[in-house]
Amino acid sequence: MAALFTFSLFLFTYSLITISTANAENITAILSAFPEYTSVLFFLLTITMAALFTFSLFLFTYSLITISTANAENITAILSAFPEYTFPEYSEFNSYLTRTKLADDINSRQPPITVLVFSNAAMSALAAKHPLPVVKNELALHVLLDYYDAKKLHELSDGTTLSTTLYQTTGNADGKLGFVNITDLKGGKVGFGSAAPGSALDSSYTKSVKQIPYNISVLEISAPIVSQQILTAPAPSASDVNLTGLLEKAGCKTFASLIVSTGVIKVYQTAIDKGLTLFAPSDEAFKAKGLPDLSKLTNAELVSLLQYHALTRYSPIGTLKATKDTISTLATNGAGKYDLSVTTAGDSVTLDTGVDSSRIATTVLDSTPLCIFTIDSILLPAELFGKSPSPAPSPTPETSPSPAPAPAPASTSPAPAPEAKAPSPFLSPPAPPLESPAEAPAGESQNSTTDNAAGDVKALAFLKALLTTTVAASVIISSFLV
């Protein structure tokens, strides 16, 4: 978006400058070469400049619209834009979307999406009774992976439907726990409730908040959709989590053994309360062909390698998908040291070290503020396994000085310098005077003919370029408009 905006702004400015500061002297010279075509050339020049100006203005406007639309699809931006005038009643809901990182998950997903929001009072009551991981799961139940607006709610086939929610994608939803029941009730009322058996329609549609048709919709409901299974699920403190037990169960026994033997597990446990994300290589990753011999690492290097597999923040999969810049790790000890970059292709997330890359395979745990992933390859930091820098050019070997050659005997006639031109052996006589002054214009006429020929060639080239530019600009503009 930024590149498009910058290019369009440059092109727009360039066209203005070109139109206003065209070199009149050159144009006049070219037009005078074909006086009979002056009007045609001038017309083509005008059309070309107008086309360039129109296209640049169109591209500039298009980039502004695209940027504003992209920002509008950001759920945080939708709910927080001008809060004193628009949606202050959802500020608590918006805050918890950010704290739980659900906002990143929403923004990184492909449309369509519908977010069911409720008032600050209802959000505060929910958050006061339950820990943050439970609040996150509850809010995930309010993100529907489909597009609903007022019209669609009142035109449900059979009057009812089950809609998949973001909670269903976590892998923690049993049965129909990850679905929401939407039912068109009598009297124009639309009810919402958990699709789990025995759940009531304890919430109803209140009003429409914001829609970007078929991309994202924000609807207000009267109360949170209550799922007793989510609210009563145990949510142990992050510091009480058995890291080694989880890692071993997930097929990462070698990694678990290494963090225990090196003491890195204590570093992990200390960092959990403020936020921690682990990338645990599977046991198969330690058997991969071509893997460097880790036994040759010093203890300090092994510690750095293990710390490189952790982030000092809570970064669930949605946050990683939304990441654009390089990210620091627990091993980072300076700017640009031990960092990672993230690439996304659909739902696949890959970590790149600069030496190798590894795909995130599964989510072992996603419970604020701790997230554990398994990865299919060991992350090899460039600081430990990077290619050796190009060797510096070797100095020229010193050799014993050669004896100076004996001086040659002086020549009786000095040799001319190699670069100097040898003088002509004969002196040219002065040119005879012209017999008639009339001969002089003949040379000028020949030069003039040559200049005119060159001017014709330049003018023809200019005409060809002008026609090409006009056609190209027309094609480009028409393709955009179509």
pLDDT tens digits for 98-143?
999 999 999 999 899 999 999 999 999 999 999 999 999 999 999 9
Q: What distance in Å separates the CA atoms of residue 372 and residue 278, rounded to the nearest whole number?
A: 5
Please give the residue that has the higher pLDDT: either 403 or 202: 202
| Rounded average pLDDT over 34-53 | 61
Q: Which residue has the higher pLDDT, 468 or 296?
A: 296
Token readout for 264 is 């890195």
Q: What angle do CA 103, 368, 99 make, to 5 degrees?
A: 35
What share of the chain has pLDDT > 70, as a percent? 63
DSSP three-state, residue 152: helix
Q: What's the pLDDT at 417?
A: 44
> Which residues, at least 6 apart from 243, have a Cβ–Cβ distance to it below 8 Å?
256, 259, 265, 268, 269, 278, 372
What is the tens place of the pLDDT at every residue in 163-179? 999 999 988 899 999 99
Is 358 within 8 Å of 288 (Cβ atoms)? no
| pLDDT reading at 240 higher than 70 | yes
Q: What are phi and psi of 370, to 5 degrees?
A: -120, 135
Which residue, among 22, 18, 19, 34, has the nearest Cα to 458 in the 3D structure? 34
Stretch among 38-52, 86-100, 390-404 having the lowest mean pLDDT:
390-404
Tens digit of each residue's pLDDT (9 = 90 or more) over 362-374? 999 999 999 999 9
Q: How far apart are CA 110 and CA 346, in angstroms?
A: 9
